[in-house]
Amino acid sequence: MKKKVKLKVNVNGDWIDKEVDPRTTLLDFLRDHLGYTGTKRGCDEGDCGACTVLVEGKPVNSCLFLAAKAHRKKVLTIEGLQKDGKLHPLQEAFIQHGAVQCGFCTPGMILTAKALLDQNSHPTESEVRKGIAGNLCRCTGYHQIVEAILSLGGVHE
């Protein structure tokens, strides 16, 4: 039986070679093997979206994603979003709009919003609400989060 799986994965721009147990999820790999703890473990069964990362630009639940599946793929976590010490416009917008309370959902929420805006630069409010339906926030009631995302080119209805 093959015990370990060889993995070559690009995380936030760096190619990393590791061997992992095939049971390792991408969430475990990012947090425990690489120390990227910005990716949060919430429900651990694909319902809450706190573990959302972008794989090849698309948001996925890293808790449902075996690390082995990320072989030769590009993964973006919240740590990879800032550039040259400057926060990403979405991160700035979340701060400006008070869209962060406890902060646990924020990394996943911002990455989901990034993928949404990359695909649709002028989303309507209902498109934003539908787009972030897989990211649960138990503090804000979503209003400030939706406003923050809409402030970057969105369309109020």
Partner 1 sequence: MEPLAYFAPKSLTQALSLLQKHEGQGKIVAGGTDLIVRMKKGLMSPRVLIDITGIHELRKIERDELGGVIVGATTCLSDIAENPMIRATCPMIADGVSVIGSVQVRNLGTIGGNICNASPAADSLPSLIALGGEIKIVSQEGTRWHDVEHFFVGPGQTVLKASEIVSEIRIPPLSPGTRSMYLKEGRVVGVDLAVVSVALALRMKNGGLCEHISIVLGAVAPTPIRVPTAESILRGREVSTDLIEKASHICAEASQPITDVRSSAEYRRRLVRVLVKRGLEKLCHKESDQG
Binding site for partner 1 (CB under 8 A): 1-3, 5, 21-23, 25, 44-47, 49, 52, 55, 58-61, 63-66, 68-69, 71, 112, 115-116, 131, 133-135
Q: How far is the CB of 31 from partner 1 (least distance, A)?
A: 16
Q: What is the CA radius of gyration of the chain?
A: 16
Q: How far is the CB of 66 from partner 1 (least distance, A)?
A: 6
For partner 1, the closer of residues 95 and 143 by Cβ is 143
For partner 1, the closer of residues 57 and 87 by Cβ is 57
Beta-strand ranges (E) seen in the chain are 5-11, 14-20, 52-55, 58-61, 74-76
C-alpha–C-alpha distance, residues 30 and 40, integer Å = 10
Report the C-alpha dihedral over residues 130, 114, 74, 33, rounded to 10 degrees.
-90
- 97 Cβ neighbours under 8 A, 6+ residues apart: 144, 145, 147, 148, 151
Q: How far is the CB of 52 from partner 1 (least distance, A)?
A: 6
Q: How far is the CB of 86 from partner 1 (least distance, A)?
A: 27
